[in-house]
Amino acid sequence: MNERKFGEPPFDFLRYCTRCCMPETNEGMEFDEMGICKACISQEEKMRINWVKKREEFREILDQAKAESGDNYDCMVPISGGKDSAFQLHVLTRVYGMNPLAVTFSHNWFSETGWDNLWNVVEKLNVDHIMYTPKRSLVNNLARQSLSLIGDSCWHCHAGVLSFPLQVAVKFGIKLIIWGESPAEFSGRDTYSQKEYSVKSAVDIANVFLKGSIRSGADSMISENISKSELRMMYPPTREELLASGISALYLGDFMFWDHERQAEFLAKEYGWKEDIVEGTYKRYKSVECKMPGVHDYAKYLKRGFGRATDFASQDVRAGLMTREEAFDIASKIDSERPSALDDYLKITSYTEDEFRAILKAKRNGKAKELP
């Protein structure tokens, strides 16, 4: 490949959105007749939404949940220690006066900054909190197994952040679960206009996770070193259990204008929430709770030719914070950087770096097969 000039896409054989810098290798990517991706179209729709009306709808949903909860928790907020879930917890408690149960599935890869942020916000907002942490040997074995099976080093986290909160909601009879950022905000698979309704059944939400980040059920991870019983917290309740429970779920971002930068600034000022360097991106707040996001994003780059820097740069283009040319420039430099955390990942999985790269190369499909 020839030396790339400023503002040019990193790979000249791939098709990119004509408005942002998202490539065709993004899963589920679709372009309209003008070559614009769904995420950019969704951003246009976002600016036309009557957010005052959406807030009123949200208030009605919460009032109903509070009226029906009795002596139980009004709702559940899955919380990781990251920016989104800290903001969710603030909104539910301080703005709407709800009594939520905060639930954490620990990936067992907490950064020091993320650990401090988690407990700081839980303490300052004075909420009940449940956390499950899988044992270290299981996390290490799953990190190896999931990379081999689906090319994802973080499957245990993706599966746990869905399954464990659903299990807790069923067990405690909590009828409403509130997640954060809307899939219409970033995924490119959905737009705001495609959402027929914003409150979904728990079954629908589980399907969103399964089709998106999880992609493979817990049974597929069972091996000589991983038993089914060890995975008990990574199995979501059955469809029948979820339907019988009457649990519904929603994304706060479907009811409130989502602004990452302002949320991060607010949390820092109000709660002392801390940012830090995060490998794989130029943003200092996203996934700050984890030590391994750089490995996950580097794996995505090796599979698809782009990483999280492209995701965020594309969002910044849509928000008017940078030009498309600036986005290509910064994303091309960061996405391809080898993260230092890869050394730790290779140590716990016993993979060599050549094996790591070979596994991810084998997971390429479509135009990604032409990547160097």
pLDDT in tens, the chain (372 residues): 456 677 789 999 999 999 999 999 998 888 999 999 999 999 999 999 999 999 999 999 999 999 999 999 999 999 999 999 999 999 999 999 999 999 999 999 999 999 999 999 999 999 999 999 999 999 999 999 999 999 999 999 999 999 999 999 999 999 999 999 988 887 666 677 765 557 777 777 777 666 655 567 899 999 999 999 999 999 999 888 988 999 999 999 999 999 999 999 999 999 999 999 999 999 998 899 999 999 999 999 999 999 999 999 999 999 999 999 999 999 999 999 999 999 999 999 999 999 999 999 999 999 999 999
Please give the pLDDT value at position 224: 94
Please give the pLDDT value at position 289: 94
Please give the pLDDT value at position 32: 94
- Work out how many domains the chain is built from and give that number: 1
Please give the pLDDT value at position 268: 96
List all residues 6 or more positions away from 21 whose beta carbon is below 8 Å from its beta carbon. 9, 310, 313, 314, 317, 324, 327, 328, 331
Give the whole-angstrom CA distance, residue 36 versus residue 17.
5
Q: Is-contact 117 288, C-beta < 8 A? A: yes
Give the whole-angstrom CA distance, residue 265 versus residue 17.
30
Please give the pLDDT value at position 263: 96
In terms of Cβ atoms closer than 10 Å to its own Cβ (0-12, 13-18, 19+), residue 181 is buried
List all residues 6 or more positions away from 290 whose beta carbon is below 8 Å from its beta carbon. 107, 109, 110, 111, 114, 157
List all residues 6 or more positions away from 207 whose beta carbon is below 8 Å from its beta carbon. none
Domain-embedded: residue 273: no
Domain-embedded: residue 17: no
Please give the pLDDT value at position 188: 62
Please give the pLDDT value at position 201: 76
Domain-embedded: residue 171: yes
Domain-embedded: residue 270: no
Please give the pLDDT value at position 1: 44
Domain-embedded: residue 302: no
> Could you list the residue range(s) of the whole structural domain that residue 99 is in?
51-254
Domain-embedded: residue 209: yes
CATH of the domain at 175: 3.40.50
Single-letter residue type at 263: Q
Please give the pLDDT value at position 194: 60
Domain-embedded: residue 115: yes
Both tokens assigned to 142? 């799953």
Please give the pLDDT value at position 72: 97
Please give the pLDDT value at position 213: 55
Give the whole-angstrom CA distance, residue 218 versus residue 320.
41
Domain-embedded: residue 301: no
Please give the pLDDT value at position 189: 64
